Amino acid sequence: MPLKADLDAIDWKILRELQGDGRMTNVELSSRVGISAPPCLRRVRRLEEAGIIRGYRALLNAPALGMDVVAFCLIGLHHQADAELKTFAERTRGWPIVRDAWMVSGESDFLLHCVASDLGTFQTFVIEELASAPNVDTVRTALTIRRVKDEGLVAFPA
């Protein structure tokens, strides 16, 4: 659906600005990228409809909301046939502790980004839900100590 380009320098500026502050007003955005408001709004709409902008999200402060544990889990399955992969992927969607999940290739089959209110909750989840789920072979966890870098998914030239 989304063809890769037809993006000029102004489009890239728009993407960079909105990745930095997704709630910027259109007039502010238009001024930063150097065009007037109407064409700027048209470009944003076009980027949204093309699926290049997938959406907007407020970034929340997890510890301030009582979510003190952020961890990553690397999951290895016994069988990696397509049906089994889809089954496990579907299962991750039912676990509220899992916030993002990726199917990966390498030593593991899935990588889960998990958030929980406390260590006990997380450990219970790992032992009673994750490790005991069907077809799960190995579970390696990495508890996060702190976030070191946090930028958008896409890099822009300076």
Residues that bind DNA (CB under 7 A): 10, 25-28, 35-39, 41-43
35 binds, among DNA, its own copies, none (CB under 5 to 8 A by kind): DNA
Residues contacting 70, CB < 8 A, separation 6+: 62, 113, 114, 115, 143, 144
In this structure, what token pair is assigned to residue 46?
């076009």
Tokens 């676990």 -> residue: 95
Binding site for its own copies (CB under 8 A): 2-5, 7, 15, 18-23, 50-67, 70-72, 74, 89, 92-93, 96-108, 110-111, 115, 140-155
The answer to whether residues 29 and 44 touch, using CB atoms and an 8 Å cutoff, is yes
Q: Which is nearer to its own copies, 9 or 54 (CB)?
A: 54
Q: Which is nearer to its own copies, 8 or 107 (CB)?
A: 107
Q: Which is nearer to its own copies, 35 or 103 (CB)?
A: 103
Residues contacting 77, CB < 8 A, separation 6+: 84, 85, 88, 109, 110, 135, 136, 137
Smallest distance from the beta carbon of 43 to DNA, in angstroms?
6
